[in-house]
Structure 1
């Protein structure tokens, strides 16, 4: 299975549309900030346009999306993963959108206790699957994927704790544009693809049979 994972669209989907015209993938994951502070209806248009390539699209809202975006994802042709989970073949997928509190009072922020309770519940529902993908907008605290240029770490401590406890296969996140890259927490690989609005994405290749073949991941430029 080939999965294209992106985050931080901020309303600009030209890079992914151009890519999908020439390349085939089996699933698209969108880790939040679909719009740049709305409007919420724009998210429906964006998700429907991406879904028009006849590829399943799984999405969560970001902190720069309107608070009502949960509803707009449900109204589109994409699958809303916020605080939900699902299984595709032997792959469990779950998500949690928005972010931990920021200094900017953005539309969709959650206290750490709510993140811990709701995101952990979603991940626990798929923990028995061979492969588990944990899709979050905010990155886990204290990694290369949540670090500002100043060196300060601004990710979610609750997400880090959940990953330490449940060890999903992959955590796909976004939010911190300057922290595109990968890291590890225990056995979990953390991937922040970077801004889709600037053409950044991650390609994940999961073997059909879970033998000796390893999952391949790579940050790419669309």
Structure 2
């Protein structure tokens, strides 16, 4: 299965990205937030529904720059609105939470670190099929688990801004270390396009879509190949 991840669209359509979707077989598109730049909501609906017309399933979460009207528009679109949900897709379990940890800019969709941690922990703990420790062990071993966030984990390549400072979420980092998902798909920090690891978890940030980059994830069972690709 081939999954394409992009992030931080910020209300800008991208002809190279659209051409890539037309010319390549993608089983799932994941958008990890900031579909709009504080609106307009019409962009979110049009952007997502035009991709859906290409018969590509879409899973999307809002970012910190998606205002309430834009979030409602994402919900009304043909994308799967995944915020604060556990999504099952063809044998993959996706634990999803949008928005970001607090920023200096007071953007519309921010959460305290405590809120982020509590909500993410609840998602992992409420996964179905986990009845006791033996079932839990089997569930973890037999299923690919993906943590989908807009905020990157702190102290990773995915959260590093231009001056080298780390501005990601301590809660996302803590959740990764506690629950060891196979992948963390994030965004938020435009200049932090990267593939790195926290323990055994692969952490990927495609950067801003305007930079014509995405993450291609090739999955065969529990075998994962991850590459940064450029839209030409």
Please give the TM-score of this superposition, normalised by the length of structure 2.
0.90
Structure 1 length as normaliser, TM-score? 0.93
Instruction: Using the TM superposition, give the Cα deviation of residue 161 of structure 1 relative to its aligned residue in structure 2, in angstroms.
Output: 0.5
Q: Name the counterpart of 2:13.
A: 13
Secondary structure in 2 aligned to 1:158? helix
- In structure 2, the partner of 1:133 is 146
* Aligned position for 2:3: 3
Query: Counterparts of 1:39-54 in structure 2 under 5 Å?
Result: 39-54=40-55
Unaligned runs of 5+ in 1: none
Match of 2:25 in 1: 24
Aligned residues of 1:33 and 1:65 also touching (Cα < 8 A): yes
> Which residue of 201, 207, 211 maps to 1:194?
207
> Would the aligned equivalents of 1:123 and 1:134 in 2 still touch at CA under 8 Å?
no
Q: Which residue of 2 aligns with 1:216?
A: 225
Aligned mates of 1:91, 1:124 — CA distance in 2: 16
Matches of 2:93 and 2:63 in 1, distance apart?
A: 21
Q: Among residues 162, 170, 179, which one is paired with 2:183 in the alignment?
A: 170
1:141-193: CA deviations, max 9, x gaps?
11111011211110000111111000111000011011110111111010001
Gaps of at least 5 residues in structure 2 are 128-135
Contact 2:38/2:70, CA 8 A, preserved across alignment = no
The whole-number CA distance in structure 2 between the counterparts of 1:77 and 1:92 is 20
> What does residue 98 of structure 2 align with?
97
Q: Please point out which of 171, 179, 184 is paired with 1:158.
A: 171
Whole-Å separation in 2 of the counterparts to 1:18 and 1:172: 23
Q: Is the 8 A contact 1:70 1:82 kept in 2?
A: no
- Higher-Rg structure is 2
What is the distance in 1 between the residues matched to 2:8 and 2:72?
A: 19
Contact between 1:124 and 1:166, CA under 8 Å: does it hold in 2? no
The alpha-carbon distance between structure 1 residues 123 and 52, as it changes in their structure 2 partners (threshold 3 A), is: farther
Cα offsets for 1:12-67 (capped at 9, x unmatched): 23232111111110000000010111012321111111111111100000111113
Instruction: Name 2:132's counterpart in structure 1.
Output: none
Q: Which residue of 1 aligns with 2:130?
A: none
Taking the aligned partners of 1:104 and 1:53, their CA distance within structure 2 comes to 36
How far apart, CA to CA, are the structure 2 residues paired with 1:45 and 1:122?
30
Q: Secondary structure at the match of 2:18?
A: helix
The list of structure 1 runs, each at least 4 consecutive aligned residues, that deviate by more than 4 angstroms after superposition, is: none
